[in-house]
Amino acid sequence: MDVTVIGAGRVGPVLARALRTAGVTTHGPLRRGERIPLAEVALLCVPDREIRDAAAAAAGRARLIGHTSGATPLDDVDFGLHPLQTFTGDEDAEALRGVGAAIAGRDTAAEDAARRLAETLGMRPFVLAAEHRVAYHAAASIASNFVVTLEAAAERLAAGAMPAGQARALLAPLVRSTVENWATLGAASALTGPIARGDDATVDRQRAAVAEAAPELLDLFDVLVAHTRALAAGRDAAP
């Protein structure tokens, strides 16, 4: 199949590079307003709110139109192929290899095309049911976006205690090992620290330090302590 990639933001250039490297005839990534060539597939890599207009522009220019959104239903397209990865746009052509691909199709032929595309890129396709789409996307946001929010909070809190400008570099090995342990061992075994050890006195002293150094983080700290205690106790949720 030949593919037109529409949208030249973060995802479009990565997908276009990967498709070309995989030997797929690829047009684009096209910017807004650029002429859309005829192709078998048009793959929309545009913000979710732009999918309807971009699909309308691609109508008649491709046999199948797909989007790369996690949360958006298939109302305006034939298939969805959501890469379960975070991209800034600079990643190389191998960036999709081994990455999960949530696929869905308006019909079997469209789903098959999405699966073929994902497999061509070395991705790991799985079918995402319409009713699970938004929960799936929320899970991806927790796994990626919220981790960044947490690391930004840790960096802010640690900044006063570490050599100037080095908090991120000093915290990064801890973050990487934690994620690797979770991926390999699962959450319960990966959890270390005072809550896992049942050391409430240290948690209380941490809380007082947060209240003093970064009171704006106290809500976050309390919610995370509650959920981490539940995890340590083998429960699904905080009381």
Ligand X SMILES: NC(=O)c1ccc[n+]([C@@H]2O[C@H](COP(=O)([O-])OP(=O)(O)OC[C@H]3O[C@@H](n4cnc5c(N)ncnc54)[C@H](OP(=O)(O)O)[C@@H]3O)[C@@H](O)[C@H]2O)c1
Write out the residues near ligand X by the rule CB under 6 A: 6-12, 30-32, 45-48, 50, 53-54, 57, 67-70, 82-83, 86-87
Query: For residue 17, what are its two tokens?
Result: 């590079």
Tell the smallest beta-carbon distance from residue 23 to ligand X (Å).
23
Tell the smallest beta-carbon distance from residue 83 to ligand X (Å).
5
Q: Which residue has the tokens 């078998």?
A: 40
Q: Which residue has the tokens 């106790």?
A: 233
Q: Which is nearer to ligand X, 56 or 161 (CB)?
A: 56
Q: Which of 41, 88, 43 shows the shortest CA–CA distance to 63?
A: 41
Amino acid occupying residue 40: E
Q: Which is nearer to ligand X, 123 or 195 (CB)?
A: 123
Q: Which is nearer to ligand X, 59 or 233 (CB)?
A: 59
Q: Which of 115, 95, 97, 96 shows the shortest CA–CA distance to 105?
A: 115
Q: Which is nearer to ligand X, 136 or 182 (CB)?
A: 136
Tell the smallest beta-carbon distance from residue 172 to ligand X (Å).
20
CA angle 135, 58, 122 (to 5 degrees): 55
Tell the smallest beta-carbon distance from residue 77 to ligand X (Å).
11
Q: Which is nearer to ligand X, 83 or 105 (CB)?
A: 83
Tell the smallest beta-carbon distance from residue 71 to ligand X (Å).
7
Which residue sits closest to ligand X, CB atoms considered?
9
Backbone angles phi, psi at 234, to 5 degrees: 80, 20
Q: Which is nearer to ligand X, 6 or 167 (CB)?
A: 6
Tell the smallest beta-carbon distance from residue 92 to ligand X (Å).
15
Q: Which is nearer to ligand X, 30 or 117 (CB)?
A: 30
Tell the smallest beta-carbon distance from residue 39 to ligand X (Å).
15
Interatomic CA distance for residues 220 and 180, integer angstroms: 24
Helix H or strand E segment including 154: helix 145-159
DSSP string of 159-218, one letter each residue: HTTSSTT-HHHHHHHHHHHHHHHHHHH-HHHH--STTTTT-HHHHHHHHHHHHHH-GGGH
CA angle 231, 233, 238 (to 5 degrees): 55
